[in-house]
Amino acid sequence: MALNNMKERGAESVNMVSGANFVILTLTIFTAFLIFGLSENVKGPAIPSIQSDFGIDEFQVGLLLAINAFGYLIACGYTAPLAAKSGLRPTLAVSLIGMALSGIGICLSPGFLPLALSFFVMYLGNGMLEITLGLMAATIFTKNTGAMLNISHFFYGLGSMIGPVLSARLMAATMENTTLGWRYMYLIILSFALIPLILGLIGRMAERSGDRQKLRITAFLKKPWVWPIILGLSLSYVCEMGIGGWLVNFLEKAYAFESGDAAFILAAFFACFTAARLILGPLTDKVGFTRSMLIATSFSGLAIIIGVAAGRPGIALLIIAGIGVAPIYPTMLAIVAKLFADDIYTAMTVILTVLGIISMISNLMLGGIVDGARHIFTQYYGEAGVGIAYSAGIMFLGLCCLVAFAATLVLYRELKRDGKMV
């Protein structure tokens, strides 16, 4: 009888994610990732203006980004349990509404502290959205998992590519002889979260069966391949977010680029990033997820470090580093989905919570590295020391990718030893 009930629930699950409903849910995931990419990567052109308006230094920029990571961290702690209890659709709705409301808060912020609080709320929404989309994708895309996750994250890359250019143009746009600036830019961009919200409310989501065995967190953390996954995923995420947050500032301070030109280069990075997710994503299923990670982390780390070391001619390497950065995050999530299919909720909660901690610490470190190096090098090289300081910060991001490569190499050996190679 129990077996028959499980079969019936399984058949119901398949029916609920087939046909027109599957299309709606897929569109929900794709558009939500698009808005997610926009919301996270419009900050590159905005940060120099925010610095100027509020008179904050590089460490405070790092603190602002760390606060963002802290919001993401908190969201990691409660999103999966909330989704398991209340359902994926309500959780998706809360995340998108939170993002839209944060746009109002950012627009109206009178000072740095209210701005930081509004960014915190935005990243609560972003964190909830990312985990919810990951759970939805793991439930819906049971075939060609690597390809579908990379295609889903392609839309994140598309939003990331459009974001810097759209941000710069909206900030420079005028309405009734008033420049919109970064405040109204955020208000407009974050209001787009209402689009996937409407789609998500239309679709029907089959929740995972409660009959699946749930892993204890302590038992989960004792699995030998968990920590290499966490470290590889976290540090590659730090690199991806760091490029989005710091590249424009680096180009302006190190090479005296105009804001629009710097935003265009960031958009070019995300163009490579986006194309790689679309083109290379399906190859990860054939090459193997772990092998793909080894190739991607080593390529991106070396491209970033050599690109910074080469000076202005190395900007091309920084752009094409997006090809290596792109497949890392969705491919690692595909590894998680395959290895922990029986309790994806526990896996996502633990792994992404630790990711949030590492991301928060790394953002503080990055801000501290740039600010500390600026104070040291300006004493010896004057204004040129600022560029050296920002170069050190971007090199730190390349180093993160190389450490992610080392972690993936450990993962490869552990999975091969245990006969669980994916």
Q: What is 351-389 written as a DSSP string?
A: HHHHHHHHHHHHHHHHHHHHHHHHHHHHHHHTTHHHHHH
Closest CA to 160 of 248, 274, 239: 274
pLDDT of residue 206: 61
Q: How is the chain split into domains, by residue range?
A: 10-204+217-418
pLDDT in tens, 328-374: 888 888 888 888 877 777 787 788 778 878 877 887 888 889 888 98
Q: If you average pLDDT over every residue of the chain, what do you get?
A: 84
Angle between helices 259-287 and 145-172 (to 10 degrees): 180
pTM: 0.71
pLDDT of residue 331: 86
pLDDT of residue 140: 80
Angle between helices 384-418 and 226-255 (to 10 degrees): 160
Give the whole-angstrom CA distance, residue 10 versus residue 316. Answer: 50
Reduced to 3 DSSP states, what percent helix, strand and coil does the chain have, rounded to the nearest 5? Answer: 85, 0, 15
- The count of other CB atoms within 10 Å of the CB of residue 386 is 19
The residue written with tokens 């309500």 in the block is 90
Q: Counting beta carbons within 10 angstroms of the beta carbon of residue 417, is it exposed (0 to 12), middle (13 to 18) or buried (19 or more)?
A: exposed
- Which residues in the chain come in under a pLDDT of 70? 1-18, 142, 145-146, 205-215
CATH class of the 10-204+217-418 domain in this structure: mainly alpha
pLDDT of residue 141: 77
pLDDT of residue 13: 43
